[in-house]
Amino acid sequence: MTAATEFNLINKYFSYSTNRNDVVLGVGDDCALLNPPAGKQLAVTVDTLVCGVHFPENTSPEDVAYKSLAVSLSDLAAMGAEPAWATLALTLPNSSEAWLEEFSMSFKKTLHDYGVQLVGGDTTQGPLSITVQLTGFVDAKKTMRRDAAKVGDKIYVTGYLGDAALGLNLLNVFELPDPTIRYASVKKLNRPLAHVGFAQKAVEYCACAIDISDGLIADLGHILKASACGAKIYFDQLPRSKAFHKCAVYLNDLDYKKMLLAGGDDYELCLVIPADNEEALLLLAESMDVLLTHIGVIDNSGELSVINTSGESIELNLSGYEHFAHE
Amino acid sequence: MTAATEFNLINKYFSYSTNRNDVVLGVGDDCALLNPPAGKQLAVTVDTLVCGVHFPENTSPEDVAYKSLAVSLSDLAAMGAEPAWATLALTLPNSSEAWLEEFSMSFKKTLHDYGVQLVGGDTTQGPLSITVQLTGFVDAKKTMRRDAAKVGDKIYVTGYLGDAALGLNLLNVFELPDPTIRYASVKKLNRPLAHVGFAQKAVEYCACAIDISDGLIADLGHILKASACGAKIYFDQLPRSKAFHKCAVYLNDLDYKKMLLAGGDDYELCLVIPADNEEALLLLAESMDVLLTHIGVIDNSGELSVINTSGESIELNLSGYEHFAHE
C-alpha cells in the first residue's frame, strides 16, 4: 500500500493512548523511545502467525489479534517476565476497514489486559501475517530458562493438554453430539491463556520452564537438550479436560496420544522444579486458580520416555507438532 | 514447516556467535535476555519487507538480507541511535538451503559491520517476507525527532535523491548506453547505506531528522506535521548522482520530478538544523565523507512548497512513494 495509506492506517487503528510512563515516544516517529527500568534485564520474544499456517483462514480478526499477542505473552511467561512493550508488523492483503477495526479493538483490549503498550509497528501489503515482538522485564537472578533442569526435579504442567489440537480437528471434521465440546476446545485453540501473572510469582520456586507451543514432547525435549538430562513422563497423569475426555471415544489410539503428547498451540507452561519447592508452588497455583499437574521427573537417562501406570514404556512415533496446513 | 524443521533451521543458520556482553541469553530460549545500558533510552524500530512489494522477486538473498537490516538501521540513524540488538522473523515458502545460506551469510556480515547481535527470531512457512526489529541506545537528551523543527531552521539531506527509484525502473525498462548507470542505481536500490555512524555524531547539532524511505515530500511532510510548520524546498539544489544526471534525458518531466521528490527507498537522512549549527554539521559530514546538501528552509507557511531558482513554485501532483507493485 502507499506510504500515505500506511500512515493513515497506523494513525487510525494503532495510535492507542499512552498508558506506561516508561514510553517516552510511542508510535509515529522513526523509532519508539523507551526507558528501561534500572536493575532489570529485558526479555524479548518475537512470533509470526501466518494465515493458513498458524491459524485457519476463517479465524475472526478478534481471535487473530488476541492470539498474536498470546503466543508471545506465553513466551514471556515461560521466562517469568513482566510484559511491557509490544511492536506489531502487520501484513495485509487489502485494507479492509471492517477487518482492521475488529483486529485493532481486540489487540488494544488484550494489550490493556496485560498492561502492555504498543510502541511501534509497520503495516505492509501482502499475504496476511502478523509478527508481534514483546519485551518484558525480569530480575537478573530470577528467570526461568531451558538449561536449568536437574536430575530429580519434578515436571509439572499448567492447564490441560491436547485441547487446542482437538479444537483444530473439531473445526471441520467431527459431527458432535454435544456442541459445548467444540466450543471449549476451539476456544482453547483461538484464545489460549498466557500464564503471565502466575509465572512472575512462580520464578521464586522454579528456575526452568518452557511454554508448550509445539507440543509437550518437542518442548520438553528442548529442556532436556539444553539441560543435558533425560525425563520420564507418566502418561496417565497428563491433564485432560472434560471436552477431551468426551472426545476420546471418537479418536483412534494414535490420534489420542498425538494430540495429548505432541499437539501444539496449547501454550501451557511446563515447569521443572526441585522437589523441595513442590508444595510452595502448588499452594501458589491454587491461590491463583491455576491448575498445576505433576506429570513426570527429570532423570539421567538422556532420553525422554513416556510410561504407563505399570511402568511400561509407551511407544511413540511422533515428530512433535506439525502445523495443520502440513498434516 | 514443522517445529523440528524450524528449530534446525534456526540452529543451523542463525546461531551466530555472541559478540556483545549485554546479551545474557541469545537465540534459543523462549526469550532473549538483555542488559540495557544504565542511563540510556532504547530506540526501537520494526520493518517488514514483503517479496514482490518491497523488493522484486528476483532480488538475491544477499541483497534481501542486507536491505532488511539497512531499512531498520536507517530508522535508528534517523534518531541518532547506536544499534545494538536485532530480532528476525523470517517467513519462507520453502526451506531452500541455498537461499538460506546466502541470506544468513549476508545477514551475519551486515550485523557484524554495524556491531549488532541477533538475539531472537522466528522462522515460519508462508509467502516470503522478512521482519526485522532493531533496538539501539540513545542519550535521553540527544535524540533527533520529527517534532523538533523550528521556523528558520535549515533543511539538509545526506547523499543523493532518486537513485533507488531510478534503479527500480532500470531493472526492467530501459535500454542503456552505459551499463554503469544501471549498476550504480540498482546498487542504491538494493544496498542503501544507513548513516548510523554519522547520525550518532550529528545529534550534537541536530534535534530533528527523518529517514527518507517514502520519498522526500512524504517524509519531510511528517516533520512539518509533527512540528506544525511549513517548508520551502529549492528544487535545483536537490542532490543528483552522476547516474541520475545521465538518465535524465530518458525521463519525462513528471517522472524526473517524481523520482527526485517522491521516489522511495533512498534511505538518506533529512536533517533539520538551526542555522547556527550549519558549519559544525558540514565539517562533521566532510570529516566522515558524508555528502550533505542544503535543500531548503523551515517556514511558518504551514505548507510544503518546492520552488525553482526564480522563486516560482513548481506544481506537484505527487502522493509520496508508491511501492512498485502498485504503480
CATH for B154-315, among 3.90.650.10, 3.40.50.11890, 3.50.50.60, 3.40.50.720? 3.90.650.10
Sheet holding A292-299, edge to edge: A208-212, A268-273, A154-158, A292-299, A230-234, A304-307
List all residues of chain B from 153 to 192 with a beta carbon under 8 Å from chain A.
none
Note the pLDDT of residue B214.
Answer: 87
Q: Name which of B67, B69, B53 is nearest B190 in CA terms.
A: B67
Please say if the pLDDT value at position B18 is more than 90. Answer: no
Note the pLDDT of residue A186.
Answer: 80
> Which residues in chain B are contacts of A28 at CB distance < 8 A?
146, 226
Q: How far is B77 from chain A (nearest CA, A)?
A: 9
Q: How high is the mean pLDDT of chain B? A: 87
Average pLDDT over residues B243-262: 86
List all residues of chain B from 55 to 94 with a beta carbon under 8 Å from chain A.
75-76, 78-79, 81, 85, 87-89, 91
Q: How far is A177 from chain B (nearest CA, A)?
A: 33
C-alpha cell at A60: 475472526
Contact B304, B220 (CB under 8 A): yes
- Give me the residue spans of the domains in chain A: 3-139, 146-317
Note the pLDDT of residue B325.
Answer: 29
Could you tell me if A24 lies within 8 Å of chain B, comparing CB atoms?
yes
A289 Rama sector, left if φ>0, alpha if ψ -120 to 50, beta otherwise: left
Question: Side-chain half-sphere of B186: how many Cα atoms within 13 Å?
Answer: 16
Q: How far is A178 from chain B (nearest CA, A)?
A: 32
Q: What is the pLDDT of residues B232-243, one digit of tens each?
A: 999 999 999 988
> Which residues in chain A are contacts of B15 at CB distance < 8 A?
none
Torsion on CA atoms B137, B138, B143, B147, rounded to nearest 10:
50
Q: What is the pLDDT of residues A141-191, one digit of tens each?
A: 888 989 999 999 999 999 999 988 888 877 765 566 677 777 777 888 888
Those residues of chain A that have pLDDT short of 70 are 1-8, 10, 172-177, 317-327
CA B50 to CA B82: how far, in whole Å? Answer: 26
B79-111: b or e for each residue (b if 16 or more CB lie within 10 Å)?
Answer: bbbbbbbbbbbbbbeebeeebbebbbebbbebb
Task: For residue A273, report the phi and psi dihedrals to the nearest 5 degrees.
Answer: -135, 150
Give me the residue from B31, B79, B81 closest to A43, CB to CB.
Answer: B31
A48 contacts B33? CB cut-off 8 A: no
Compute CA distances B211 → A49, A227, B218, B268, B277, whole Å. Answer: 29, 45, 11, 6, 20
Q: Name which of A283, A276, A264, A244 is nearest A323 in CA terms.
A: A264
Predicted TM-score (pTM) of the model is 0.85
Collapse the DSSP code of B240 into the 3-class scheme (helix H, G, I; strand E, B; otherwise coil) and give the result: coil
Q: Please, which pLDDT band fits residue B124 given cuts at 50, 70 and 90? A: confident
Could you tell me if B4 lies within 8 Å of chain A, comparing CB atoms?
yes
CA B46 to CA A43: how far, in whole Å? Answer: 17
Please say if the pLDDT value at position B29 is more than 90. Answer: no
- How many other CB atoms are there within 10 angstroms of residue A53's CB atom? 18
Contact B136, B81 (CB under 8 A): yes
Note the pLDDT of residue B317.
Answer: 67
CATH class of B3-139: alpha beta
Give me the residue from A33, A43, A320 closest to B3, CB to CB.
Answer: A320
Note the pLDDT of residue A4.
Answer: 47
Please say if the pLDDT value at position B72 is more than 70. Answer: yes
B127 contacts A126? CB cut-off 8 A: yes
A91-108: b or e for each residue (b if 16 or more CB lie within 10 Å)?
Answer: bbeebeeebbebbbebbb
Residue carrying C-alpha cell 511413540: A316
Note the pLDDT of residue B223.
Answer: 94
Report the CATH number of the A146-317 domain: 3.90.650.10
**Residue B259: burial class (beta carbons within 10 Å; 0-12, 13-18, 19+):** buried
C-alpha cell at B303: 505548507
